[in-house]
Structure 1
Amino acid sequence: MKLGIIVGTNERSRLTYAAMNSVISSSMGDEVFVFLTMDSVRAFTKNPEVKDSDVSSKTMVEKKDEDFTGLFKKAKKSGKVKIYACSYASKLFNYSKADYNDLVDEIAGITTFMMDVEGGQVISVW
């Protein structure tokens, strides 16, 4: 099966939810395609901007819980996870591929993402 995850936030708790879905689905043998758009691209740069404005995010920081980046790294070790940074959001924030951390495979448009996920399930995390 294929799973597409569209992420549009840089809120830590929501990024962690997306990362957990990636870990679980990829460990079950599914192909996972993550599409980072709007504010979420800011969390995947070499100088990440992550919001901790909700209670869950603040608690994760206080407890030094595993970060979403670590979870995405685990998911990517399966070889079944691909992470795209939205071309529109990248232009909006003036980011090039060199600005992103090593989790981002490429900058692509929503059409590329939707073609990769064709026939699979798509969830959104905003």
Structure 2
Amino acid sequence: MKTGIIVGSNERSRLTYAAMTSVIISSMGDEVYVFLTMDAVKAFTKNPEVKNEDVSSKTMVEKKEEDYMSLFRKAKKSGKVKIYACSYASKLFNYTKDDYVDLVDEIAGITSFSMEVEGGQIISVW
């Protein structure tokens, strides 16, 4: 089975939810395709911009909970997870592939992402 996760926020709690979901689904042997769009792309640059405005995000920082990046790294170790940065959002913020951390496999459009996930389920995290 395939699962697509569309992430549109750079809020720590939402990024962590997407990362945990990727870990769980990929550990069950399913393919996961993560599509980072709008503000979410900011959280995957070499100088990440992450918001900690909600209570959950603040508590995660205070308690030094596992970071979304390390969770996505765990998920990617399965070999079942691909992460795409939205071409539109990348253009909007003037990001190139070199601006992103190594977790990002490529810059792609929503059409390419949709074709990858065809027949699977889609989860949106905004």
Given the two structures, how large is their TM-score scaled by the length of structure 2? 1.00
| Residues 17-36 of structure 1 mapped to structure 2, 5 A cutoff | 17-36=17-36
Q: Deviations over 1:54-100 (max 9, x none)?
A: 00000000000000000000000000000000000000000000000
What amino acid does structure 1 have at the position aligned with 2:41? V
What amino acid does structure 2 have at the position aligned with 1:97? K
Residue in 2 that maps onto 1:38 = 38
Residue in 1 that maps onto 2:53 = 53
| Residues 1-126 of structure 1 mapped to structure 2, 5 A cutoff | 1-126=1-126
Alignment partners' CA distance in 2, 1:124 and 1:106: 20
The secondary structure found in structure 2 opposite 1:61 is helix
Identity of matched residues, %: 83
Structure 1: gaps of 5 or more residues: none
The secondary structure found in structure 1 opposite 2:103 is coil
Alignment partners' CA distance in 2, 1:118 and 1:52: 33
Displacement after TM superposition at 1:47 (Å): 0.1
Alignment partners' CA distance in 1, 2:3 and 2:20: 13
Q: Deviations over 1:4-24 (max 9, x none)?
A: 000000000000000000000
What amino acid does structure 2 have at the position aligned with 1:114? S
Structure 2: gaps of 5 or more residues: none
The secondary structure found in structure 2 opposite 1:79 is coil
Runs of 4 or more consecutive aligned structure 1 residues displaced over 6 Å after TM superposition? none
Aligned residues: 126
What amino acid does structure 2 have at the position aligned with 1:92? L
Aligned-CA RMSD value: 0.2
Alignment partners' CA distance in 2, 1:99 and 1:109: 17
